[in-house]
Every structure is written in C-alpha cells, then in structure tokens.
Structure 1
C-alpha cells in the first residue's frame, strides 16, 4: 500500500480527452475516468474534417506535432514552390485522415498521460497495460446503452451516489455546464434531439439525464426500488424492454465483444450511430 494519491491524474486524463476531441473530428459522447482505467464513447465526424480548409488541417496537426518544414513555412506565411505545395498537400491529406482516426486519437491521449505519469514517477517504460479495446455501436439503441453504462460507472463502483457527484464523467461535466447556462460543452458531442439533418446524439439532453437517473436508481445495490409507472420518454420512444435495458447497463462489456447493434442485443439478453467505446487501463492512473 502507498499513501500517495494519484487522484490528480484523473484530472489530467479528463482534460486531455476533451482537448484532444476539440482538435480532432471526433467528439466525446460519454466518458468515465476511474481510478485505474477509463471508458469513452466516441463519435467519428468525417463531415467536420471534410469542411476544414488546408490551413486549418495544418494548424490542428501542428498543435499536436511539429509538422514538417513545409508546413511550418506555410503557417509562417512563406511562399512555397509548386513542388513543395504538392508535397505539403500530400501530407495534409494524410493528416486530415488521421484527425478522424480513433487509433490516432487514443494514441495521443494515452501517450500524453504516460509521459506525464512517468515524469512524475521518475521512471521510464510502459504505462498502460495494453492497447485499448473497442466496440462498434451500430445503432441508437446500442449508443444509448453504452453511454448510460459508461456514465454510471462511478455509481456502480460506489464512488458516487448520483450523476451530479460522479466526478470525471461526461454526464457530470454536462450537468455543470447546464447549471452555468452553457449549452455547448467543448469536445463533447451535442444532443440534437429530433432536429432534421442535425448530426449529433439524436435525443434531448433532459431526456437522457432522466434516463440515466432512472437507470441508476434501478441498479443501485443499496436501493433497487421499483420500476416507475411511467418510463422516461426515450424508453417509450425506442420501445425498450426494461429487463433488457438493466442487463445492458450493468453487463455491457460482459455480454458484447467487438460489434453491438439491436440484433445482437435481442439475441444476447435471453442467455449500446457510429460511435466507439474504448477502454485503456493501468495501475495507478
């Protein structure tokens, strides 16, 4: 046992996740930074990356890496020859793809935290136990299931008793921003409701908060309670089976492996868009 606290590293990771998502064309739907691992639900947004100008791609990549001699000269306003432009445009095409690639996203987050932790510990070598694991979420039902699963991690681990007190989670951050009258949370995907053609999480934030609160009450070991007479709007709209929903939000990783969609959910309950849930672990975080 050691008396040293590593709680501050959870702050490092939460901040790094949000800042990296601001640079990438990848948004955070949900995340939970635990004591020795973390979970994150990601939404890849190629529409954002495709809308960036060449300069914006270079600026974003340069905020993460040094770039190349030609990209540095380009940002400095220096003239480039036709051949140099050809080489730079080739790099820009590559960087644009990388800025919407989950593996690059996770690499930047994890390597940054590893460097900080190793510097603090005055050591070298591997920090994380292994490469992150991922599951593809194939539809809205899988997305909601996984988001709730992730947001409720601290409650299930008895680290908190409510979403409002669940530090280092996306739902806690959203609630804080909401109470401050801020609708946009930097780095996080937006709840767009049923707005036509809008890209984001296709529900209202208040419905999701009600859903998570209801689910949290049902799965608390010390206060299971009873199922409310009237379920939250999201459950009614998607026609969730209550027993299936509770299984999904308490046993998500156990029940599913690489791909998750409605057909997989229905098939596995009897024996949660294109987002990504990723986990990485190491002691201590």
Structure 2
C-alpha cells in the first residue's frame, strides 16, 4: 500500500526531493502528436513560467527541471528555515498572490489589524498558510492543476490530465542530489530531443548556462555555493563550473553512445564524492531505474526508512549500489 505523502516527505531527513508528474494515456504536455500533427510545444512555456512563479511565492526552490513531451522532472529544495522567519504580513502577501484567502486575512491586509477576538483565528490561519507554503504537495498541486486547466480548456475537454499524484524521491546525500540533478538536466539529450544541454529548451541547465556566460546565476533557481565549508551560505554544495563541466561531458558520452570515449574520473565533483566513472554514467542515465522512494548511502537509507515506518528494506543495497 502506498505511503501517505506526508510520511514520504520529511524535512528532518532531507530538504531535497525529486518529483515527477506524467500525463494520462495519450495526453500531451507538449511536443507534437504524430497522429494528428498538432503541436503542443507552447505548453512548455506554461510549465516553466508557472514553475518559476511558484518558486518565488513558496519557500521551495527549484534546483533542476526538465519539461518533456508527456512528463516533467523537478528537483526541489524545501527552505523551511526561511519560511519560519516570515512575518505574518509576508505569509499573507505570498498566499494572496495565488489565492483570495479568507475575509479575516483580507481585512487584516487592508486595515493592518483585526478585532482582538479575531486575532487567534488570524494567527492560526497564518500558520496554516505558512505550512502550505513550505509543502511540496501543495506546490505540485498549484503547478499541476493550473497546467491541467489550461490544457483542458485548449483541448475543449474535461477530466484527468495527469495520471495521478506526482511521484517523489527523497535525495538523502550530496551524491544522490548531484546524480538526480544531472539525470534531470540530461533528460532531453538522452531522449534525443537535442544534441547538447545548452540547447535544451525549457530546462534548468540551459538557464544556468545562459547566466554563466554572463558570470551570473539565475535568480529563479537555487544557486550553487561551492563545496561544503564553514559558514557556507545556503545553496547547492557544489561549484557551478564543476557541475556544468560534468553535465557537458556526460551529455557528450550519452549523445555519442561511447561510454569509454572520455574519462570522467578526473572531474572534481566525482573525485570529491568518490564515485567511479562507470557508476556515474549508469546513475546519470538510468536514475529512476536504479532508485526507489529514497536515494542515499545504506546507513542514511536505513535511518530514513525507519523514520518513515517502512517494515521491509530489502531494496536498500540496490538503491545504494550505483552511487557506491
């Protein structure tokens, strides 16, 4: 029986999660329908625009994303610390940018206060909104429902657009995080939609490469802050240059289908995380095939499954193996 989403997503174990949403049957998120010839490419823009908009509202940052023909891949970071420090005004401003709120919250935002007898209810509502704004399930709902409504309106139909709830994976350590991000960023290359990562439209890797050429990082994405160190700022624990180089080299190998054509063992990230080149190529191209509800070392996985209430943990060695 599937675990409740509330048990699968635990900030105490990790703030990083890989989320996948797929369309039902022959529904098209984007791309071209080979039977009718109708193109849905413009829907890529819908997803990217909505995704980056929500990342500015929620305490959830986007680490990586790729919009494919009938599914999306996201790597998300829950910034719970920031959400807890928001004032009541900040929480309500953010929530009101996507929903009307209640009469009490509207009154507070207009007048700056509410009668004393309504204050406890206002405080409870603010805390409820705060929790929603750091909830991945709510984030995915706000993203997917919006896209489904637009697609159904365009197709002049009703009913399901997504096949069901999104799939999520907990990324429990740095190796799992980096491998999943690279897997997501290389999705279009592996699917032969493009030859190089920098030409992958509506992906995080293209946005990062474009900004890197201007010696910047995209404000809409969770930044790279370098290797772990004392007083490290909040962000991805890798150097941007090292990550882009690794993704570029891996993409060339995938595109040319020559696994031994380049030696990846000298790339700084793989050296720091002690991941062999062959294992890296396997996980970077087949991440979903070799992983399950959570990804990390055996020790970290054992703790995660225990906290999540799993009784069977026979898949731990399989999930761990490609990153060993």
What is the TM-score with the length of structure 2 in the denominator?
A: 0.79
Shift of 1:270: 5.8
Following the alignment from structure 1 to structure 2, what is the Cα–Cα distance between the partners of residues 229 and 25? 35
Relative distance call for 1:163 and 1:23 in structure 2 (3 A) is same
Residue of structure 2 aligned with 1:193, choices 213, 219, 226: 226
Shift of 1:179: 2.6
CA distance in 2 between counterparts of 1:18 and 1:270 reads: 34
Q: CA deviation at 1:271?
A: 9.4
Q: Are the equivalent residues in 1 in contact too, given 2:80–2:134 (CA < 8 A)?
A: yes
SS for the counterpart of 1:18 is helix
Which region of structure 1 is more displaced relative to structure 2, 79-88 or 128-137?
79-88
Contact 1:174 1:185 in 2 (8 A): no
Distance 1:197 1:138 in 2: 19
Residue 291 (structure 2) pairs with residue 256 (structure 1): yes
* Greater CA drift, 126-135 or 259-268: 259-268
* Structure 1: stretches of 5+ with no match in the other structure: 273-285
Three-state SS of the structure 2 residue aligned to 1:220 is helix
1:270/1:96 CA distance change after superposition, 3 Å: closer
Which residue does the alignment assign to 1:160?
194
The two structures, once aligned, show a CA RMSD in angstroms of 2.0
Alpha-carbon shift at residue 98 of structure 1 (Å):
0.7
Q: What's the CA shift for 1:65? A: 0.7
**Deviation readout 1:234-284 (Å, 9 max, x if unpaired):** 111111111111111111111111011022699337697xxxxxxxxxxxx
Alpha-carbon distance in structure 1 between the residues aligned to 2:43 and 2:87:
35
CA contact (8 A) 1:30 1:147 kept: yes
Q: 2:250 aligned with 1:211, yes or no?
A: no
Q: How many residues align?
A: 271
State the SS of the aligned residue for 1:197.
Answer: coil
1:126 aligns with 2:160: yes
- Aligned to 1:41, the other structure's residue is in SS state strand
What's 1:25 paired with? 59
Query: Does structure 2 retain, via aligned residues, the 8 Å contact 1:13–1:113?
Result: yes
* Counterpart-to-counterpart distance in 2, 1:227 and 1:28: 30
Q: Is the 8 A contact 1:191 1:201 kept in 2?
A: yes
**Counterpart contact for 1:148–1:249, Cα < 8 Å:** yes
Instruction: Indicate the residue corresponding to 1:74 in structure 2.
Output: 108
- The residue that corresponds to 1:43 in the other structure is 77
**Taking CA–CA contacts closer than 8 Å with sequence separation of 6 or more, which of the two structures ends up with the larger relative contact order?**
1
Q: What does the per-residue CA deviation read over 1:60-99, in whole Å, with 9 as the maximum and x for residues that have no partner? A: 0111111000111111125411121211110000110110
Give me the whole-angstrom Cα distance separating, in 1, the residues matched to 2:276 and 2:112.
62
Deviation track 1:38-79 (CA, whole Å, cap 9, x = no partner) reads 100011110110121110000001111110001111111254
Pairing 1:228–2:263 present: yes
1:177 is matched with 211
CA distance in 2, matches of 1:223, 1:214: 11
**CA shift at 1:233, angstroms?**
1.0
- Identify the range of structure 1 (40-49 vs 175-184) with the bigger mean alpha-carbon deviation: 175-184
Aligned residue in 1 for 2:181: 147
State the Cα distance separating 1:230 from its structure 2 match: 5.9
Once the two structures are TM-superposed, the CA of residue 139 in structure 1 deviates from its matched residue by: 0.3
What 5-or-longer segments of structure 2 have no aligned partner? Answer: 1-34, 302-314
